[in-house]
Amino acid sequence: MFVTMEGIDGSGKTTLINSLKPAFPDFHYTKEPTDAFQFGELKKLSSPENSFYNFFLFTYDRLNHQEELKSNKKIICDRYLASSIAYEGPMIEKLMGDQKETVRWMVNVSKMMMMPDIIIYLDVDIDTAVDRIRASRKNLNFRGRQLSILEERQGLSRIKEYYNYFLDNISEFIEKPVDVIKINGNDPAELVLEQARKIIESI
């Protein structure tokens, strides 16, 4: 059983996973980017070409992640392909010219990868996400680029739009059946944990 956790920055995703570990110690917990990822090679999100380059960096890291994933029967992964689509897709779309074709191309490039059985997506309001980001960081930044609050809101809104488009239409892009379950990330952490716990127990 391969479960991935997804959500924009500030959705509470990593906090949720850390809370799940004591409840489900028999799962293997992993994340992307992996510890082997070369963050120094990432380019700033300033052009479609940079996002194109970054997508292949994340894809290469994901390819190297496959051996770990295939060697475990029960997995919870913090971010996976949906994150690459959501975060790199908006800029790559400027090269492709169409959202659907952009997502289709990104999925096709990733066809050799394991696909999750379940995607749990924490759906959070942009204002809530920004407030959480500001509470956890002294400055708003993304991949080394200083961002204004306006830029942060605009960027997160576009990422969220891509997440929802891909997850709402996932059967058009991935042949394997994938269950997408959305949890209200605006709820208190205890309630989010309880909902996620019930989902995992049910499988």
Q: Which pLDDT score, from 0 to 100, does residue 141 have?
A: 57
For position 14, which CATH number holds?
A: 3.40.50.300
Which residues pair with residue 183 across a beta bridge?
Answer: 122
When mean pLDDT is compared over 52-61, 126-135, 151-160, the highest value belongs to 52-61
Rounded to an integer, what distance in angstroms lies between the CA atom of residue 169 and that of residue 173? 7
Number of domains, the chain: 1
**In this predicted model, what pLDDT tens digit does every residue of 78-116 receive, in sequence order?**
999 999 999 999 999 999 999 999 999 999 999 999 999
Cβ neighbors of 126 (< 8 A, separation 6 or more) are 8, 153, 156, 157, 160
Range of the domain at 76: 2-202
**In this predicted model, what pLDDT tens digit does every residue of 110-154 receive, in sequence order?**
999 999 999 999 999 999 998 888 887 645 555 555 555 455 788
